[in-house]
Amino acid sequence: KAGVTQTPRYLIKTRGQQVTLSCSPISGHRSVSWYQQTPGQGLQFLFEYFSETQRNKGNFPGRFSGRQFSNSRSEMNVSTLELGDSALYLCASSPTPGGDTGELFFGEGSRLTVL
Amino acid sequence: KQEVTQIPAALSVPEGENLVLNCSFTDSAIYNLQWFRQDPGKGLTSLLLIQSSQREQTSGRLNASLDKSSGRSTLYIAASQPGDSATYLCAAKAAGNKLTFGGGTRVLVKP
């Protein structure tokens, strides 16, 4: 059974550009969550999607957005990139929606560098 | 607001010694607590999941306990090996499938 797949694994952008990251969850999993990991702030929750609906959102500016498709694949977008957006972006999938006791499984992440 | 703390931030032990990693959380209204391992530049690997109704969970050399009343979880790794060197993270799960992570404990097991 394939794990959570994130693409691209590495990317470099310049300030002001936008970026789109993709996440394919484990087959059969319908919940996808996104996290940002930085040396200073650690791991922080961005948002969670279930059945194409955003169910929960962390404390990030509106430049950070996401969506989920009918096949449960998810994308997140960051517009008007800032230097501080440089981070490892991790996606997690779970077989259950928010509030349940399901386990989360993480992908390898997409490392974004903003110059 | 849930806050999760892991102390110490780093520790170094000789091979064969048992590891004890601590995790504390401020809000006991959690669904479960999950322990992860992260190697440099990699994603998170799930180690153990303890449901809020459980006291402990075991997998091989790993054992994790949960005491909701005191807001604590402990991960024990028996007979440590150099391959156990990594950062270990705990995360408390609340409503909305949201994980709140601790800052992690960086472990070095010296041969």
Contacts of residue B75, defined as CB under 8 A and 6 or more positions apart, other chains included, come to B19, B20, B21, B23, B35, B47, B48, B62, B63, B64, B88, B90
Please name the amino acid found at residue B70.
S
> What integer pLDDT is reported at residue A55 of this predicted model?
87
- Contact at CB, A55 and B104, closer than 8 angstroms: no
- Contact at CB, A104 and B46, closer than 8 angstroms: yes
- Contact at CB, A103 and B91, closer than 8 angstroms: no
Q: How many CB atoms lie within 10 A of CB A9?
A: 12
- With tokens 């408390």, the residue in question is B92
* pLDDT at B78 exceeding the cut of 60: yes
Residues in A touching B100 (Cβ below 8 Å): 45
B34/A3 Cα distance (integer angstroms): 18
- Contact at CB, A105 and B46, closer than 8 angstroms: yes
Shortest Cα distance, chain A CAs vs residue B5, angstroms? 12
For B84, the 3-state DSSP assignment is: helix
Q: What is the band of B15 on the pLDDT scale with cuts at 50, 70, 90?
A: very high
Shortest Cα distance, chain A CAs vs residue B60, angstroms? 19
Q: What is the band of A97 on the pLDDT scale with cuts at 50, 70, 90?
A: low
Q: pLDDT tens digits, residue range B37-49?
A: 999 989 999 999 9
B19/B35 Cα distance (integer angstroms): 14
Task: Number of A to B CB contacts under 8 A, please give it.
Answer: 75
Contact between residue A88 and residue A107 where contact means Cβ atoms under 8 Å apart? no
Q: How many CB atoms lie within 10 A of CB A64?
A: 18
> What integer pLDDT is reported at residue A1 of this predicted model?
65
> What integer pLDDT is reported at residue B67 of this predicted model?
96
Q: Which of residues 20-79 of A touch B (CB under 8 A)?
A: 31, 33, 35, 42-45, 48, 50, 55-56, 58
Residues in A touching B99 (Cβ below 8 Å): 33, 35, 43, 45, 92, 104
**B31 near A CB under 8 A:** yes
Average pLDDT of chain B to the nearest whole number: 94
* pLDDT at A98 exceeding the cut of 80: no
Percentage of chain A lying above the pLDDT 70 cut = 95
**Mean pLDDT on A27-47:** 93
> What integer pLDDT is reported at residue A2 of this predicted model?
77
B39/B34 Cα distance (integer angstroms): 17
